[in-house]
């Protein structure tokens, strides 16, 4: 009979929100166990945010050097890039492992599945099984890359961003399937490292969540980098093997020849095969766990955290789930409803956004005033030679409250944070317009942006 261990707080998965709460409770002297299949610190550190930004950093450096040296045909040493990415990841994994140990939690490496409410069986690498029972259970299993049902695609062994971040040989011609955020970041990074890149999407434009003027700027930047865009293109088949030779066939009869194919068409929650039905935990039609505004599932004393709970797919959103859950434990009010969650897309020019955009306002029939400013109007952008893009803000016509902000341009993520602080503080746009902002910095453009509203 399998050994049974009882703890006060039991976590299935160790992503950002889960590991933060687990360490918090362990430091308070609670008995805590975290069951993890092997990615110490979660996907952000191992296969997502951190390695992708390390790759993008090297790609930008390569692009800048190539431009300065006027050496267009030089490609990156992919083995060196891979080693750099791995060193960044390994360093952060070590930091997380030490933090786990110092907190006092029990880190359990193995594959877990529910066998009863708040009871998880864990099978280790040696095949031995241990049963963990938790007074309180948290599901933090995340999502994985999904792939469209296209004939031959699965047999072609396509890359996802996970495999792409571990390549030691630069693809000769990378075909990226998907026009969302991951596809855009990977497409530009590998192009700047020296690969030929074709991006294929069935959508009429890239970044469909954004306003059309944002997509236009991004598309121009990609084509200026030499990326071939095939938009409103429907895949009908894939032949060959990624890493050798692949042929991507489109509905209009055309074929795209490449050496590698990367799929970035969405994410699927990791809820299948983990015994949720035995735990009394229900999922929706897309497989995400059903939760209320406090992240409680349909099972008693069982919560879900992060992407698997339908939380927006950003590490900082998962971390806010930790705050909500911690408040619940401490008896303080907290909710996931009406959260103001910013995000950034790490291409060049960068995209930053928070709150409503024009498409959202139109769909919800919200009356707004729109302020828009080209980045070329910002002095710092001119000194740096980074004048592509614009800032755009949506303002309530009566109160002057800032309802949303979008920026595509250099430093967009940091400027978005400045606007977020104003929104959180309930400041009218005039307060930002009249603020004394340092010169010359990119955020100074906020003075100019809001001055366009009379």
In angstroms, rounded to a whole number, what is the distance separating the alpha carbons of residues 269 and 286?
Answer: 8
Residue 141's contacts (CB-CB under 8 Å, 6 or more residues apart) are: 12, 13, 269, 270, 271, 274, 308
Please tell me whether residue 437 adopts helix, strand or coil conformation: coil
Rg over alpha carbons for the chain, rounded to the nearest Å, is 24
- Locate 35 and state its tokens: 């069951």
DSSP summary character for residue 2: -
Q: Which H or E run contains 393?
A: strand 390-395
Answer left, alpha or beta for residue 38, where phi above 0 means left and psi between -120 and 50 means alpha: left
Tokens 């020019």 -> residue: 349
- Locate 196 and state its tokens: 């030929």
In angstroms, rounded to a whole number, what is the distance separating the alpha carbons of residues 127 and 169?
Answer: 35
Q: Report whether 349 contacts 386 (CB < 8 A).
A: yes
Q: Report whether 38 contacts 15 (CB < 8 A).
A: no
Residue 148 main-chain phi, psi, to 5 deg: -70, 155
- Locate 48 and state its tokens: 């997502």
Among 57, 260, 293, 439, which one carries the catalytic annotation?
439
316 has catalytic annotation: no
Please tell me whether residue 19 adopts helix, strand or coil conformation: helix
Which amino acids are annotated catalytic?
439
């Amino acid at each position: 009979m399998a050994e049974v261990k009882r703890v006060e707080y039991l976590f299935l998965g160790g992503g950002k929100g889960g590991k933060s709460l687990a360490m918090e409770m362990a430091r308070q002297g609670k008995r805590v166990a975290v069951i993890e299949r092997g990615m110490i610190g979660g996907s952000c550190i191992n296969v997502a945010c951190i390695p992708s930004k390390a790759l993008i950093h090297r790609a930008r450096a390569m692009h800048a050097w190539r431009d300065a040296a006027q050496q267009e045909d030089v490609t990156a040493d992919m083995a060196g890039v891979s080693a750099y990415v791995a060193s960044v990841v390994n360093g952060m994994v070590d930091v997380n492992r030490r933090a786990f140990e110092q907190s006092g939690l029990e880190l359990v490496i193995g594959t877990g599945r529910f066998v009863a409410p708040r009871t998880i069986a864990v099978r280790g690498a040696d095949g031995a099984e241990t049963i963990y029972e938790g007074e309180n259970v948290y599901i933090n299993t995340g999502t994985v890359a999904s792939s469209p049902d296209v004939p031959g695609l699965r047999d072609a062994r396509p890359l996802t961003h996970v495999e792409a971040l571990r390549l030691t040989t630069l693809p000769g011609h990378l075909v990226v399937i998907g026009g969302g955020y991951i596809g855009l970041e990977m497409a530009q990074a590998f192009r700047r490292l020296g690969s030929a890149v074709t991006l294929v999407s069935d959508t009429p434009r890239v970044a469909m969540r954004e306003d059309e003027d944002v997509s236009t700027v991004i598309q121009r930047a990609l084509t200026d980098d030499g990326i071939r865009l095939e938009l409103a293109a429907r895949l009908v088949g894939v032949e060959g093997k990624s890493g050798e030779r692949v042929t991507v066939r489109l509905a209009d009869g055309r074929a795209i020849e490449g050496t590698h194919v990367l799929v970035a068409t969405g994410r699927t929650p990791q809820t299948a095969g983990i015994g949720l039905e035995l735990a009394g935990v229900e999922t929706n039609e897309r497989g995400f766990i059903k939760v209320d505004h406090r992240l409680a599932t349909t099972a008693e004393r069982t919560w879900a955290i992060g992407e698997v709970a339908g939380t927006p797919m950003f590490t900082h959103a998962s971390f806010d789930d930790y705050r909500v859950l911690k408040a619940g434990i401490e008896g303080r009010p907290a909710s996931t409803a009406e959260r103001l969650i910013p995000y950034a897309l790490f291409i060049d020019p960068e995209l930053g956004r928070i709150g409503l955009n024009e498409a959202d306002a139109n769909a919800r029939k919200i009356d707004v005033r729109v302020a828009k400013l080209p980045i070329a109007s910002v002095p710092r952008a001119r000194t740096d030679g980074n004048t592509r893009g614009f800032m755009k803000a949506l303002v309530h016509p009566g109160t002057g409250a800032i309802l949303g902000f979008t920026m595509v341009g250099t430093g967009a993520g940091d400027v978005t944070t400045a606007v977020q602080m104003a929104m959180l503080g309930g400041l009218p746009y005039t307060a930002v317009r009249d603020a004394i902002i340092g010169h010359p910095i990119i955020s100074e453009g906020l003075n100019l942006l809001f001055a366009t509203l009379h």
